[in-house]
Structure 1
Amino acid sequence: MADSKVNDILLFMSVAAAGNFASAGRAFGLSRSTAGKAVTRLEDRYGVRLLNRTTRAVSLTEAGQRLFAQGEAIQAAIAEADACLDTVDGIPKGTLRITAPDALGRRIILPVVARFQKTWPDVRFEISFSDTVSRIIEDGFDLAIRVGVTTPDATLISRTLMVEKTVLCASPVYLTNRDAPRNVDQLSSHDLLQFSSVAKRQAWSLQDPSSFPGNVSGRVPLRMDSAEGLRAAALAGMGIALLPMVLVKDDLQAGRLLRVLPDVDCGEVPIIALYPHKKFLEPRVRRFIDALVSDLAPPSADAAPH
């Protein structure tokens, strides 16, 4: 039957994306053996091996790669069919799955979610707050919020929500125990708290008013994959951190953190929305992106003189 063949292809796609049969089966509410049988049926039907199997994981063969490419078209067609029905009345509804960095998500995304749900109560949210870069499509997210320059692949669309200045900051306790740096070169004698993850290691490129931009070298006793963790470390007096202003604004105003080298240009970071490229974008996704752009835009942007 044609419909059973399509189901087998979709299960095969899930196995290939997950890298194992157990996770793929669970995604469909099925057992590991059912997922395995679906792939075996396809291999018998086409007379080719689609997956290389090991005790730990599976990988696509050349024939499997060709079927996977065609399967993506099937998945897109099903998604577009769902979207067509979802957009009949244009009212946002259903579940919106979002991934965003922990600190940023708590401070600027959750307030937008709260306001959005008051306007569109039929939308439910599933949110993953993590600084780990997720595979947006493979992990089933509708929308990802990312900090920094991001070059998405052809399957993703990017939209800049805001551009935020970064600042050097440290606690009063840290600066009391040693001389505050008077220029970028003197940072080399200080403890620097830097972001680092599997995919990205932060490099500081700073510019004194009288010099060219340059990378900072110094002691880095602590690297973390969490901006919120770096903020906490700075508050604890562990060193100097370079963080987006939006994350430390309240701490600076309250005196819990102090600006370091305030005249130095520390650069800016874009805060970007990434979402899958679809012909029909579900109303819940489109409306929420619009809400983010509206809520995060600088208040004076529209009123600025031209």
Structure 2
Amino acid sequence: MNAPDPFRGISIFLEVIEAGSFTVAAERLDMSKSGVAKSISRLETTLGTRLFHRTTRSLTLTDEGTRFSEGCRRSLKELKQAQTQLLAQQQELSGRLRVTLPMVLGKKWVLPALLEIAQRHPALELDINLTDRLVDLVEEGVDLAIRIGPLHDSATLIAKPLGVQRAVLCATPEYLERHGQPQTLDELHSHACITFGSGGQSRSWHFLDEGGHSHSLAIRGRIGLNDSGAILVATLAGFGIALIADWLVNEHLKAGRLAVVLPDVRTVGFPIHAVWQRNQLLSPKVRHVVDLLAERFVPEQPWEVKSA
């Protein structure tokens, strides 16, 4: 004859403790109240001791029940740790992972995280495309993309928020000392500005009014560049005022190489997402990368300047 299984009914036993009654535990477990009661009775019979004091109004643990519950929780914790370790071993990342990243944000903030993963998982092959072009994940066979801005093709994608990119008006202290600090947005038209664009076409700068509504300001730039990193270089060289992403300039603001222009002016924020195909099963490779990026970027972006 087989010996009774001492672990039978433990999950129901712990649920009854958590719920405080057979009735509530039965609802949570989608069982009948009598089924829960029978399971507890069988467990008590197997253990040879009463686990609960039962009255019509209350349900409390006996001393033996308290000691047994503490042992059960310790054992379950150890089982979960063993399961986690086993799954980690089974999910050694391998094979090719195709990722597309925005050029400057990707190189400065995302690529280091991907290289860290590659170092931990020698069997993982990374195929990384740095581009500001909107890549069609299905058409080009991309596993994961990092995107800045609204997701216009969100119906075909699953997205994980990674934060918000905000822009900062800034210039070198030397430029502002020579040309003065503008006091209003309109005064920007009389300053040398560095804009995003080329061929005589520049992107407008977008700001928020007091009601939180977006409005644009068309700025004619003294220098037009089609690369955010190049705009930063020109700004640091003292060629004028630029509107640059916070993740690109905050370290320079903290070091005093750049100063904020019109600090009370609010700019439009653009969401940052990790995205992958909706109809594609999330692979361990993609999940691992997404989870790591979420840890790095949320709830505080790594580029945020901490106040002293």
Please tell me the TM-score bracket, short chain as reference.
0.5 to 0.7
Return the offset for 1:213: 4.8
Question: CA 1:223 to 1:132, structure 2 compared with 1: closer, same or farther past 3 Å?
Answer: farther
What is aligned with 1:123?
A: 124
Would you say 1:188 and 2:193 are equivalent positions?
A: no
Which residue type is aligned with residue 186 of structure 1?
E
Question: CA 1:176 to 1:145, structure 2 compared with 1: closer, same or farther past 3 Å?
Answer: same
Would you say 1:204 and 2:202 are equivalent positions?
A: no
Return the offset for 1:209: 5.8
Which residue type is aligned with residue 103 of structure 1?
V
1:155-166 equivalences in 2 (<5 Å): 155-166=156-167
What is aligned with 2:264?
A: 263
Return the offset for 1:289: 0.9
What is aligned with 1:103?
A: 104
CA distance in 1 between counterparts of 2:202 and 2:152 reads: 16
Return the offset for 1:247: 0.9
Per-residue Cα deviation, 1:231-272 (whole angstroms, up to 9, x for no partner)? 112112222221221111111112221111111111322111
Please state whether the residue corresponding to 2:160 is helix, strand or coil: strand
Question: CA 1:108 to 1:142, structure 2 compared with 1: closer, same or farther past 3 Å?
Answer: same
What is aligned with 1:27?
A: none
Conservation of the 8 A alpha-carbon contact between 1:161 and 1:296: yes
Per-residue Cα deviation, 1:117-158 (whole angstroms, up to 9, x for no partner)? 344332221212222333333333221112222322533222
Please state whether the residue corresponding to 1:292 is helix, strand or coil: helix
CA distance in 1 between counterparts of 2:140 and 2:214 reads: 38
Question: CA 1:290 to 1:92, structure 2 compared with 1: closer, same or farther past 3 Å?
Answer: same
Please state whether the residue corresponding to 1:298 is helix, strand or coil: coil
Return the offset for 1:167: 0.9
How does the TM-score come out when normalised to structure 2?
0.61
Moved more, 280-289 or 200-209: 200-209
Question: CA 1:202 to 1:176, structure 2 compared with 1: closer, same or farther past 3 Å?
Answer: same
User: Which aligned segments of 4 or more residues in structure 1 are displaced greater than 6 angstroms?
Assistant: none
What is aligned with 2:146?
A: 145
Which residue type is aligned with residue 136 of structure 1?
L
Per-residue Cα deviation, 1:190-237 (whole angstroms, up to 9, x for no partner)? 233333499x97432224669975322332233333221221121122
What is aligned with 1:249?
A: 250
Return the offset for 1:279: 3.8
Unaligned runs of 5+ in 2: 1-89, 302-308
What is aligned with 1:291?
A: 292
Q: RMSD over aligned Cα, in angstroms?
A: 2.9
How does the TM-score come out when normalised to structure 1?
0.61
Moved more, 219-228 or 204-213: 204-213
Conservation of the 8 A alpha-carbon contact between 1:132 and 1:197: no
What is aligned with 1:231?
A: 232
CA distance in 1 between counterparts of 2:208 and 2:166 reads: 14
Unaligned runs of 5+ in 1: 1-88, 301-306
Conservation of the 8 A alpha-carbon contact between 2:193 and 2:221: yes
CA distance in 2 between counterparts of 1:159 and 1:151 reads: 15
What is aligned with 1:281?
A: 282
Per-residue Cα deviation, 1:77-136 (whole angstroms, up to 9, x for no partner)? xxxxxxxxxxxx443211112111222112211221133234433222121222233333
Per-residue Cα deviation, 1:4-33 (whole angstroms, up to 9, x for no partner)? xxxxxxxxxxxxxxxxxxxxxxxxxxxxxx
Which residue type is aligned with residue 137 of structure 1?
V
Return the offset for 1:186: 1.0
Please state whether the residue corresponding to 1:220 is helix, strand or coil: coil
Which residue type is aligned with residue 268 of structure 1?
G
- Fraction of identical pairs, as percent: 35
Conservation of the 8 A alpha-carbon contact between 2:165 and 2:270: yes
Conservation of the 8 A alpha-carbon contact between 1:208 and 1:263: no
Conservation of the 8 A alpha-carbon contact between 2:162 and 2:274: yes
CA distance in 1 between counterparts of 2:149 and 2:217 reads: 18
Conservation of the 8 A alpha-carbon contact between 2:175 and 2:238: yes
Which residue type is aligned with residue 234 of structure 2?
A
Conservation of the 8 A alpha-carbon contact between 1:183 and 1:208: no
CA distance in 2 between counterparts of 1:183 and 1:253 reads: 24
What is aligned with 1:37?
A: none
Please state whether the residue corresponding to 2:222 is helix, strand or coil: strand
CA distance in 2 between counterparts of 1:211 and 1:156 reads: 29
Question: CA 1:122 to 1:145, structure 2 compared with 1: closer, same or farther past 3 Å?
Answer: same
